[in-house]
């Protein structure tokens, strides 16, 4: 990461064994790294070992997680839909921090059955509003994505989803740069 790059936290929503999240998140990651104005940190609940007992939590895993979040200028949450909501490990991850989310943009890539995970995304917008984050209007949504990828993790038919992701990233970049500048130049409201 250099100071001019926009540092994105790419967040995995699923911690399930055999999860499809890996395929979708790797596809997102491949897009992000094509743009040298971005740097990226992958935040995976499977590897973070965050405790369920909240807060206060000053254990090593939580402190390390918070410092990684604090370094991020923007976030992309890759989430499936579980019972018309988002997965519990994602809520644990979100609730493990507070000010580290604030005044930063959040974008969503979702997947699921016919709804494409959009019900999970709508719930997440409410959660992130409480954390003073700004959610991006445009998201990327995969309905029934299981047959859409080849064995290398590439979309068999790139469009329109690749275009949708690029469009979303452009908005995330604008908000990420604008809010980073504002965080440095404008005093925070009480
Ligand atoms: C507990 C559970 C509940 C689910 N509920 C929904 C649902 O309400 N809507 C939907 O579209 N898909 C639902 N699914 C299907 C998931 O979206 C699909 O299995 C997806 O691949 C899960 O993501 P993951 O493999 O990364 O964990 C559910 C899956 C699980 C395991």
Q: How far apart are CA 132 and CA 49, in angstroms?
A: 25
Q: How far apart are CA 182 and CA 184, in angstroms?
A: 5
Judge whether 95 lies within some domain.
Answer: yes
Whose Cα sits closest to atom 4 in ligand 1? Answer: 82
Judge whether 190 lies within some domain.
Answer: no
Q: How many domains does the chain have?
A: 1
> What is the domain range of residue 133?
6-185
Q: How far apart are CA 85 and CA 27, in angstroms?
A: 23
Question: Which phi and psi angles does 106 have, rounded to 5°?
Answer: -130, 130
Q: Is the confidence at residue 54, as pLDDT, over 80? A: no
Q: Give residue 5 CA to ligand 1 midpoint distance, Å.
A: 34
pLDDT value at residue 80: 98
Residues 109-136 pLDDT 10s: 999 999 999 999 999 999 999 999 999 9
Q: Give residue 101 CA to ligand 1 midpoint distance, Å.
A: 26
Q: Is 80 in the pocket of ligand 1 (CB under 6 A)?
A: yes
Q: How far apart are CA 103 and CA 166, in angstroms?
A: 22
Determine the Cα angle at 178 with ends 172 and 183, to 5°: 120
Count of C-beta atoms within a 10 Å radius of residue 162: 16
pLDDT value at residue 56: 65
Q: Is the confidence at residue 3, as pLDDT, over 60? A: yes
Question: Which phi and psi angles does 105 have, rounded to 5°?
Answer: -85, 150
Judge whether 87 lies within some domain.
Answer: yes
Q: Give residue 130 CA to ligand 1 midpoint distance, Å.
A: 25
149: CATH? 3.40.50.360
Judge whether 146 lies within some domain.
Answer: yes
Check: CB of residue 9 under 8 Å from CB of residue 90.
no
Read off the tokens for 88. Answer: 């519990």
Q: Is the confidence at residue 55, as pLDDT, over 90? A: no
Q: Give the pLDDT band (50/70/90) at residue 52.
A: confident
pLDDT value at residue 189: 76
């Amino acid at each position: 990461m250099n100071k001019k790059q926009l540092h994105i936290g790419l967040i995995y929503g699923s911690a399930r064994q055999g999860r499809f999240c890996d395929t979708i998140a790797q596809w997102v990651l491949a897009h992000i790294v094509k743009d040298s104005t971005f740097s990226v940190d992958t935040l995976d609940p499977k590897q973070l070992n965050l405790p369920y007992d909240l807060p206060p939590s000053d254990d090593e895993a939580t402190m390390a997680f918070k410092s990684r979040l604090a370094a991020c200028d923007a976030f992309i949450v890759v989430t499936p839909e579980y019972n018309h909501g988002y997965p519990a490990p994602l809520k644990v991850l979100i609730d493990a921090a507070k000010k580290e989310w604030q005044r930063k943009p959040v974008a969503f890539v979702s997947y699921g059955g016919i709804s494409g995970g959009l019900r999970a995304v709508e719930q997440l917008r409410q959660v992130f509003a409480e954390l003073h984050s700004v959610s991006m209007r445009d998201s990327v949504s995969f309905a029934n994505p299981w047959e859409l990828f080849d064995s290398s993790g590439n979309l068999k038919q790139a469009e329109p989803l690749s275009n949708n992701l690029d469009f979303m990233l452009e908005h995330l970049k604008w908000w990420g740069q604008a809010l980073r500048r504002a965080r440095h130049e404008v005093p925070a409201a009480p």
